[in-house]
Amino acid sequence: MNSSVGPISSERFRNVLRLFASGVTLVTTRTADGALHGMTVSAFASVSPEPPLVSVFIDHAHTMHPMLEVEGAVFAVNILGETQQHLSNRFAFTKDEDRFAEGRWSVATTGSPVLEEAIAWLDCRIVARHVAGTHTIYLGEVVDSSVVRADAPPLIYWNRGYRRLRKPE
């Protein structure tokens, strides 16, 4: 392999990845002092069923990053349905108002906020952190979960826009 080959540009990288469809989640946390925070995240993956592990990837520039760096930090992953685009936008773009003012929220086992009308949610405690370029990969052990609406189609993000899942006829 030629070791002089460098990485592609950020723009070229993003142009390729925009063609990879993903589900949309709200990742939420409650800090030790009781502050709530949440953000829209499509960089989420299941890792292992035994023990149950998931990962989320958070940009170092995001407000949530230092919150998750604290020892004992926790997070919940709320999987959004196709009718919840407004919540995805709210948690992606709202800056000065309470993001949690919309939706019905309750508290999971770890204290993280969970969206009662999400398709499903996973409540996690952080078991590992790995710095990866501009992001940190947070590995979460799932300590609680709920499937709220098993038949509801997920919110999909593809090619820089929201999409709907079309069931085969």
- Tens digit of each residue's pLDDT (9 = 90 or more) over 4-35: 788 999 999 989 989 999 999 999 999 988 99
Total H helices, total E strands in the chain: 3, 12
Asked whether the predicted pLDDT for residue 146 surpasses 60, the reply is: yes
CA distance 6 to 116: 46
Q: What is the pLDDT of residue 45?
A: 96
Percent of the chain with pLDDT over 90: 82
pTM of structure: 0.92
Asked whether the predicted pLDDT for residue 1 surpasses 70, the reply is: no
Q: What is the pLDDT of residue 167?
A: 74
Nearest to 34 by CA among 87, 100, 89: 100
Q: 140 - beta bridge partners?
A: 54, 126
Confidence of residue 95 (pLDDT cuts 50, 70, 90): confident
Q: What is the pLDDT of residue 135?
A: 96
Asked whether the predicted pLDDT for residue 165 surpasses 70, the reply is: yes
Contacts 24+ apart (CB under 8 A), 16-22: 18/158, 18/159, 18/160, 19/158, 19/159, 20/158, 21/156, 21/157, 21/158, 21/163, 22/156, 22/157, 22/158
CA distance 155 to 169: 20
Mean pLDDT confidence for 105-127: 97
Asked whether the predicted pLDDT for residue 2 surpasses 90, the reply is: no
Mean pLDDT confidence for 35-42: 94
Mean pLDDT confidence for 67-83: 96
Of all residues in the chain, what percent are helix, strand and coil, respectively (each to 5)? 15, 45, 40
pLDDT in tens, 119-135: 999 999 999 999 999 99
Confidence of residue 72 (pLDDT cuts 50, 70, 90): very high
